[in-house]
Chains A and B, each alone.
Chain A
Amino acid sequence: MYELSLFVLDLVQNSITADAEIIKIWLFEFESENLVTITVADNGKGMSKEVMGKAVDPFMTSKTERKKKIGLGLPFFKQLIESCEGKFRIKSKLGIGTVVTGSFPYSNVDQPPVGNLEETILSLVIANPGIDFRYTRRNDKKEKIFDTRPVRKMLGSDAEIMWQSSELMEWFRNELIES
């Protein structure tokens, strides 16, 4: 798994599992500031300090407790970011949501390729008709924003049932990839 977009997919699945209603994804690639930042934020159920500690360092032990592994996604992402001289950050609040960010130098040699991020987001949008997504990709020259909320508003109560119609999928594809 050496593509940023696969890590984004993994982080977004965490948000989906946490019952998020809206998931926001930002990718900033600023050559001028020598900085790449990827962020996934959700309004899901969040996690306690204790769960977060275990999630980030799954082999953390206390004297009374045996080693407990609760998942490898977050440690994996943290490791990737730190291996390219980057910074991993996570903030979470029970009942409010979670924000995960990785940032690393633009010109790092170990930097993973972004991969097919727009395709990945397209599948996420289509396969999750009940969840809203906002995706922002920005570099020194331009910015691209995709947001399902105005789409849902426009389609009204029929939004979910027509979400996977070929017409709407085609529109999503045009907005995310062809434009």
Chain B
Amino acid sequence: MSIGRRDFLKAGAIATTATALAPGINLIELAAARSPEQAASAVNRWGLLIDVNKCAKGCTACVDACRKENGISDEGSPTTDAQWIRKVTTKDKATGYEQAFPVMCQHCEHPPCVDVCPTGASFKRKDGIVLVDKHICIGCRYCMMACPYKARSFIHEEITDQSHNAPRGKGTVESCTLCVHKIDRGDGSTACADACVDENHKAIIFGDLKDPRSEISRQLKAQPSSQIRADLNLNTGVRYRGLS
């Protein structure tokens, strides 16, 4: 196991702060830092927990952060521009009760997008992250038809000045990558989760669903949570708390 020096120091720093809270957390944080030559493995399953009640009305910090991190450009055409994450507002038809929260690719354990993709461009990494391999995506958009969460976007025009974090181009389909470049680097968080912390809302927690000691697992264990369209049995990696 070798760790980038910077990452190692960072992990150490987290460990020091975390030890005070609960012993054991430092180990988990270290585990998040995979070395560059080590393949992602099924030991982890990355996910998010989104607390709807903590999500602030009118705040779009997570959306903005995602756009910046992944270089999602605004081409000036709302119906065709890509959106990896969006704030959805729901209103109960009977009671009028309103909620607003972010929705992105739910990183399904049984992803319909992967099942239908003819070339295998849509795939699920061993650690549960669902990605599009744009090298072999032929742009048939069948995955977009199949996704129950409307999580995917097709790139309708030529794109320039892509971010180094997320290669993307005309004629292929894309969606939230769970900030895979950050996970591989061992950042232990996503851009949207970071941004939410920066805004002091802390509505998004990133972590390893398979590690019982991770923050996300402990939170999930402690309080009720739900999946969007749980009836479809896709076992999503993105969970919600307080979703009415």
Indicate, yes or no, whether A interacts with B: no
* A contact residues vs B (CB 8 Å cutoff): none
